[in-house]
Chain A
Amino acid sequence: MVKHYRPAGKKKEGNAAKFLTRTQALKQLQISLPLFRKLCILKGVTPREPKKKFKGNDKTYYHVKDVSFLHHEPLLEIHRAIRVHERKIKKAEAKKNLERANRLREKTPKPKIDRIIRQRYPRFVDALGELDDCLTMVHLFAALPATESKKIDVERVHKCRRLAHEWQAFVSRTHKLRKTFVSVKGIYYQAEVEGQTITWLTPHSLQQVVSNDVDIPTMLNFLQIYEPLLGFINFHLYHSIKLKYPPILDTRLEALAADLYALSRYANANNRPAILNSEASQSVESEQMESKPIGAETENKDSELRLAQLQHQLPSNEPGALMHLVEKAAGEDEEEYDEETRQCKNLFQNVKIFLSREVPRESLLFIIPAFGGIVSWEGEGAPFVESDQGITHQIVDREAQGHRFLSREYVQPQWVFDCVNARIILPTENYLVGRIPPPHLSPFVDYDEEGAYVPEYAKTIKHLQAAARKEVLPLPGLEKDLEDPQNLLVEGVIDRAAANHAAKEKQKMMVHELRYQEDLKKELQGATYTSAGSTAREETSAGLIQTGESTNNGQGNVDDGAEMSKLLLSRKKRKLLEAMRISNERKQTKNDVIVRRKKKIDEAQNQRS
């Protein structure tokens, strides 16, 4: 094709008319790159891939419509105003006109995020559908240390923390939580809200490291939209269960790092608004104090001791207001629950759990009530103490020397997570303190996929589930691994001796079977050898040979069919097929590696026993 000469000023055509490079967009919008990025983040504008990259492959392209969309955006105007305003403030400061500077600072225009949220997510469901990243980010920031040099201020961290807890309180109270997973990266939760599956990751409650190769301003830009988004969503959700939104928390519990519990108790207070109000004022006060430790002069005096004292000074109201309130409201719309929610709600119905120290308290305080359990912890403000006789399980991570109650079981925290994922109360035997717990499996793995590797414990859980449903699932021989006492339990062979005996027999059988298979293999190989030998002999004997069937052809037959049907495919489909084959192969090799390792481990175990 001849490239046509286009006279200057004539309209462009094709991709060049539809797309802009980033530099062009910047020029058109007359803004700086950081601001452009911020706008893109806030408005959710992403680059687009033109069919033909007319300015080269190394450029990012934006659609003309997207750019003009930004062009008409009031945010742009507001940011320009902000810039002007900042200049004014600077000038006032330079002239030592602090009063004016402060006044101006207060008057700094603020971008309106609610409008953007409404625009980006026209329906509530849309917003819920894209909540994953928002929740993960908010939870991450809730766990970050506030560092001035990184521009992560205390207020922000507190707000994130509050929002996160509000969300968790809602999920917990409405029993929407479905799956949890303790990974190395943090704890994953999956909830189902209004038909949307929302998965988020919370970091482990440890000091997070803010590395230097991370551009915090970019993340803060995201947070700028995520924070209000979660706020609005929380509002909507609380509204839907008839709760007042900015929940008013018990400050004492809050200070004790049991905000979640405080949140869930909040709902209880519907019938006593007077107390609520007083609490409200207190909470506001305390929050202010927390966020601005260097604020008022009175508080200024012992700023160092502030945090420590806070715990003692806080009013001793009835602790844990939020959870009860939520519970009460929940009782009314019991009928609305679907089957799964009801199942989730009743999982820990008859369980009373006490958390010792050194367990991930925040996480467990979230999960256990979400599945209908009653929970308390060691420390102030707990609803019941350790010596409560009704406690059925105590979550302990480290074996302690203290008094042990015979009426309860001491289990590791993993038990809770595994129970939740399995949706049954697992036998605690393997999870007792001091033992190495069974592997913690990801609930997100789909075993239905063909050729997927199913870990042993997953099979065990499956049988336990079946047993819980009172179905008798026939135990196939392979899965009856007798090293695993779980299976035996299911079968009803609880007696240890019997189990051992069975195990021995089983092993014997296995050995026999193996030998038999090997024999078979040998036979087969021998047969092929002989046949091959005979053909060779025939070939050498005479000048011309009649063979019944060429050996080569026989072998080739298997993949011939596949090969030949590929012949007729178009090139596109052939390539697609090839890609599929490669990806399948990759999966297979991954699986194979795991299976091989498993075999090795089993062998080693067998040898030891």
Chain B
Amino acid sequence: MKGQGRKSTTSQSREVKKPTEMDQKDEAIVNQQEAPVPSDSEEDSDYEYSGDSDYDYDSSDSLDYQSESAGSGELEENDDDNSGDSEGAESQDEDAVNPDGGSEGSDLHQGGGVESDSSEDEVAPRNTIGEVPLKWYADEPHIGYDITGKKIKKKEKADKLDSFLKNVDDSKNWRKIYDEYNDEVVELTKDEIKMVRRLIKNGAPHADFDPHPTYVDWFKWDDAKHPLSNAPEPKRRFIPSKWEAKKVVQYVRAIRKGLITFDKPKEADGPYLLWEDDSGLAEKEKHLTYIPAPKQKLPGHDESYNPPLEYIPTQEEINSYQLMFEEDRPKFIPKSFGSMRSIPAYENAMKEAFERCLDLYLCPRIRKKRLNIDPESLKPKLPSKKELKPYPVTCYIEFKGHEGAVTSISIEASGQWMASGSSDGTVRVWEVETGRCLRRWEVGEPVSCVAWNPLSDIHILAVSAGQDVLLLNTCLGDEEEQKRIKELLWAEPPKTSDDAGTKAPSVSWVKDDEHEGIRLKHLKAVTSVEWHRKGDYFSTVMPKGESRSVLIHQLSKKATQKLPFKLRGIAVRSTFHPSRSIFFICTQKSVRVYDLLKSKLIKKLDTGLKEASSIAVHPGGDNLIVGSKEGKLCWFDMDLSSKPYKILKCHPKDINNVVFHRSYPLFATCSDDGTAYVFHGMVYSDLNKNPLIVPLEILRGHANSNGKGMLDCKFHPRQPWLFTAGADKLIKLYCHH
């Protein structure tokens, strides 16, 4: 806009701006349209030059002009315009004749309040280069030439910072425009701004200009002596239009037919009393259950703008968050702001709101019962342990002497003696009450199992070591008993070799001179020996023996027989029923129950374990427990089902042995974690009543060595005492108080 104004050459502007006394009004208008450029020196840039003291005209005149311009009517203005045009033409002529005077006049206008004498020096030089690209002068020291052909020097550029500071302080800064053409800063007046606005809106520059004036008819139609037309008024002016009627009929028909439809009246969609009657909504809607969205978590102290000091993490803690996993990292780090005015806008506000939205419509809703209970209440109520006494509680005696891990122990039927076998290849017999070691045999190979004959008068010890089973005479008891034992332990020298040819015996009974006993030579390593309750038979288990893995030996006849059944899986342990002729074989995954008389499989118990390690039968005979290498203990009620009645996960490591007490309702497990659990296991004679299992005590005391803990445990036959054998070469006796 400004540039446009500038483009007119100075002579033109002079022509137009030439003031005459007669057309002040016109002058003002034109001046405004041309957008006069107030010089820098001008303080008040309004074009109220009428107020200037050295203005040629009378002050009264100028005042007149002002009032006129303020309140002038449109018509008047138009008239003025018209007259002004003619006057302007006159002035042009004048100007052409007298150029000097004209220049003076223009100076007067532009100079404003400056003295007319010095005005020529003060006035900003007018550039005369015309409409050429300004970049031609970009590298020159001047911006162009003034009217006399002198170079106009470029002004020094102000420091950017200074000019900025100046601009900041200046409230009128926004009205200032840099005029590149003349290299000066121009401040627009308020009126000019208004004009610019009008022009932006495609209006006329002048505020008073009316683009659509009311038309004033200059022709007088009435009362003319000679009218333009003397024709009478036509008839059609007095009758209704036929065409209109047709159109109306057309519309009516169209409306009737429904071709034209009307807009429906707008419905008010403001709020109204929506829930006026809540009561009638008792009946349920036929729809799925609606789960209301969970409410958002309420903020705690840490989200406060001024949290307690202890909630604010230290810098080190904040740094340590970086080391955490992304998920574990706290999402919100409490921070304290000294006062409310210093709280900044929360940058995640939008994001969190959005995430909540996503949760609301993308997440499936599930009603989850949040258990708000004491964790203790989950645990079953157990009868108090005091009522279940006596049971082994404290370590009473330690038996020391073995130089290797004690792998197996066995208590004599009277409870007076205890035998133990160790991996150092020795078998020892101890006196229980005193802890004295009575006898000691060197077997040569690591002992895997020892077992006393269950009869109290036959003091024979069965020891399995390596591939052999030794039957040892412990030399206890009186002479008569010794005599019987010696008879029993008298083995015939091996028969002629022709027998061996026909049928390779799985076991050979050999007299063992060194230990004064019998040696049963097996084909594979024997892991366990178990006596029948009558003390005549005993069974051995060779896990690698395949079809002969379980053998039953008869002591009196020195005979061996293998089981007439096929066994699936690797046998781990075997045991006899405490009262009936039933035989249990525990394989890794199941327990097989055979009737020895009928030689028939009675039952197969599915343990669900990966690898069973031990089995024990309740003295009642209907319940049995199986320990496994994953530390689980299964209690089977044989009458109930072939599945365990209860599975207890008590040990973190392998269970090595499980035992029932012969008379007390107790059973125990021992494990490689170095602990033994003592349970109360009551079996009721009432068949409707399930067995009661109560854990009583955890017995600790054995140290772990080589990942092995407690290797064996046995109950005392009469007392509620528990013997445990550990891999730490110790045997311990736990007694009740």
Contacts and interface: CB of A to CB of B under 8 A. Distances in A.
Interface string B696-726: 1111110000000000000000000000000
A442 B299 contact: yes
Interface in A349-368: 358-360
A136 interface: yes
A504 interface: no
Nearest to A110: B269
A376 interface: no
A188 B361 contact: no
B278 interface: yes
A111 to B, nearest CB: 10
Contact of A397 (B273, B341, B397): B341
A188 B299 contact: yes
A569 B646 CA distance: 10
Interface string B334-354: 110111110111111111111
A455 interface: yes
B364 interface: yes
Interface string A225-238: 00010011011100
B356 A133 contact: yes
A515 B346 CA distance: 48
B693 interface: yes
Interface stretch (A75-83, A123-131, A253-261, A278-286): A123-131
Contacts of A129: 292
Contact of B351 (A44, A127, A213): A213
Interface in B27-54: none
A277 to B, nearest CB: 17
23 contacts: A60-B364, A63-B288, A110-B269, A112-B269, A114-B272, A123-B278, A184-B332, A199-B295, A207-B345, A218-B357, A232-B275, A300-B201, A360-B340, A414-B306, A437-B339, A439-B309, A553-B393, A565-B695, A567-B649, A568-B693, A571-B649, A594-B311, A597-B313
B275 A123 contact: yes
B479 interface: no
Given A183-B303, A199-B298, A107 B263 contact: yes
A553 B395 contact: yes
Contacts of A60: 362, 364
Given A47-B362, A63-B288, A133-B356, A440 B304 contact: yes
Interface in A192-249: 199, 203-204, 206-211, 213-215, 218-219, 222, 228, 231-232, 234-236, 239, 245-246
A181 B332 CA distance: 17
Contacts of A274: none
A37 B288 CA distance: 19
A301 interface: yes
B683 interface: no
A118 interface: yes
A182 interface: yes
Contacts of A239: 273
A7 interface: no
A137 to B, nearest CB: 6
B161 interface: no
B264 to A, nearest CB: 9
Interface string B133-175: 0000000000000000000000000000000000000000000
Interface stretch (B11-19, B374-382, B464-472, B588-596): B374-382
Q: Nearest 7 pairs between A and B by C-beta?
A: A444-B298, A564-B695, A598-B310, A206-B345, A124-B275, A231-B271, A235-B271
Contacts of B263: 107
Contacts of A414: 306, 340
Interface string B278-292: 100100010110111
A46 B394 CA distance: 61
A511 interface: no
Interface residues of A, number: 119
Given A398-B339, A444-B298, 6 more contacts: A46-B361, A114-B269, A214-B350, A232-B275, A359-B340, A597-B314
A565 B281 contact: no
B400 interface: yes
A287 to B, nearest CB: 14
**Most chain A Cβ neighbours within 10 Å, of B358, B375, B399:** B375
A397 B339 contact: yes
A11 B10 CA distance: 95
B361 A440 contact: no
A188 B700 CA distance: 56
A494 to B, nearest CB: 25
B248 interface: no
Interface of B is mostly: loop
A183 B304 contact: yes
A413 B346 contact: no
B295 A219 contact: no
B339 A40 contact: no
A563 interface: yes
A603 interface: no
B281 A123 contact: yes
Contact of A37 (B361, B379, B437): B361
Contact of B298 (A40, A110, A188): A188
A86 interface: no
| B: interface residue count bin | 35 or more
Nearest to A190: B298
Nearest to B286: A65
B254 interface: no
B666 to A, nearest CB: 14
**Most chain A Cβ neighbours within 10 Å, of B296, B306, B696:** B306
B307 A236 contact: no
B472 to A, nearest CB: 23
B366 interface: yes
B209 interface: no
A75 to B, nearest CB: 15
B361 A563 contact: no
A455 B301 CA distance: 9
B228 interface: no
Contacts of A123: 275, 278, 281
B308 A441 contact: yes
B273 A236 contact: yes
Given A440-B307, A455-B310, A114 B360 contact: no
A542 B401 CA distance: 10
B371 interface: yes
A208 B345 contact: yes
A140 B339 contact: no
Interface in A97-142: 107, 110, 112, 114, 117-118, 121-125, 127, 129-130, 132-133, 136-137, 140
A260 B378 CA distance: 53
Contact of B274 (A44, A117, A199, A569): A117
B350 A204 contact: no
Contact of B400 (A112, A545, A597): A545
Nearest to A456: B308
A137 B349 CA distance: 10
A581 interface: yes
Nearest to A555: B700
Contacts of A358: 341
Interface string A539-582: 00011111111101100100010011111110101101100110
Nearest to A215: B354
B695 A594 contact: no
A199 B294 CA distance: 13
Contact of B354 (A125, A183, A219, A232): A219
Contacts of A301: 197, 201
A512 interface: no
B687 interface: no
Given A413-B340, A455-B301, A597-B310, A550 B394 contact: yes
B310 A209 contact: no
B395 A550 contact: yes
